[in-house]
């Protein structure tokens, strides 16, 4: 399999979770569904960030940088910055959820704005990678690069635990069922 296709397949899975999170965030005015928020946060931290972003930040971006795509300016710098903005939204979401749980009901606004902010950011981020950065990378990497990238991706998957993709695909499936999202 091609490493860029692997990354794009992960984007499709992340987009499904963004749909779920949109629904969970919209419901905040009626009910704060801790269980679904916790599952979404687990997915975002361990699949989107530690798994997918780790492949980008640790492997794919450095590789295409070594092939002449500049890191300090342009799309790589922008993507790295957006990963950080996303982490801040998630931190805001975790903090506001725990304050709400402790009784501060005024946190509901912060819960939904952090969740929605994250969804909007990541949806656009994925579009930029799919349509701009990945095609740029596609043009500069060789067949040899592709096979070593796939090898590194497999090692990352092994380190994360073989079941990481399966676990998080199942988590998305379960939440889609719960919210009748097809
Ligand atoms: Fe990214
Ligand atoms: Fe990505």
Q: How far apart are CA 21 and CA 161, in angstroms?
A: 25
What pLDDT, in 10s, does the model give residues 79-99? Answer: 999 999 999 999 999 999 999
Which residue is it, tokens 């990481």?
Answer: 164
Domains (range + CATH), the chain: 3-178 (1.20.120.520)
Radius of gyration of the chain (CA): 17
Query: At 3, is the secondary structure helix, strand, or coil?
Result: helix
Q: pLDDT tens, 25-34?
A: 999 999 999 9
Residues 83/45, Cβ–Cβ less than 8 Å? no
pLDDT 10s digits, 29-70: 999 999 999 999 999 999 999 999 999 999 999 999 999 998
Rounded Cα distance between 34 and 97, Å, is 8
State the sign of the Cα–Cα–Cα–Cα dihedral 24, 7, 85, 166.
Answer: positive
Q: pLDDT for 137-150, tens place per residue?
A: 999 999 999 999 99
Name residues with Cβ closer than 5 Å to ligand 2, which is an ion.
Answer: 129
Distance in Å, CA 29 to ligand 2 centroid: 31
**pLDDT at residue 71 in the model:** 83
Instruction: Report how far ligand 1's centroid is from the alpha carbon of 61 (Å).
Output: 9
The model carries a pTM of 0.96
- Across the chain, mean pLDDT equals 96
Ligand 1 midpoint to CA 23 (Å): 23
Whats the size of the chain, residue-wise? 182
């Amino acid at each position: 399999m091609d490493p860029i296709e692997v990354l794009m397949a992960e984007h499709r899975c992340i987009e499904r979770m963004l749909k779920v999170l949109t629904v969970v965030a919209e419901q905040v005015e009626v009910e704060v569904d801790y269980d679904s928020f916790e599952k979404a946060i687990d997915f975002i931290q361990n699949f989107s960030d530690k798994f997918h972003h780790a492949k980008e930040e640790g492997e794919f971006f450095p590789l295409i940088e070594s092939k002449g795509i500049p890191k300090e300016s342009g799309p790589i710098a922008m993507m790295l910055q957006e990963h950080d903005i996303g982490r801040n939204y998630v931190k805001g979401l975790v903090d506001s959820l725990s304050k709400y749980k402790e009784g501060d009901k005024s946190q509901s606004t912060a819960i939904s704005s952090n969740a929605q902010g994250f969804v909007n950011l990541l949806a656009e981020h994925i579009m930029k990678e799919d349509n701009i950065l990945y095609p740029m990378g596609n043009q500069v990497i060789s067949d040899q690069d592709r096979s070593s990238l796939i090898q590194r991706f497999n090692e990352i998957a092994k380190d994360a635990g073989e079941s990481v993709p399966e676990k998080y695909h199942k988590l998305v499936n379960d939440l889609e069922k719960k919210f009748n999202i097809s």
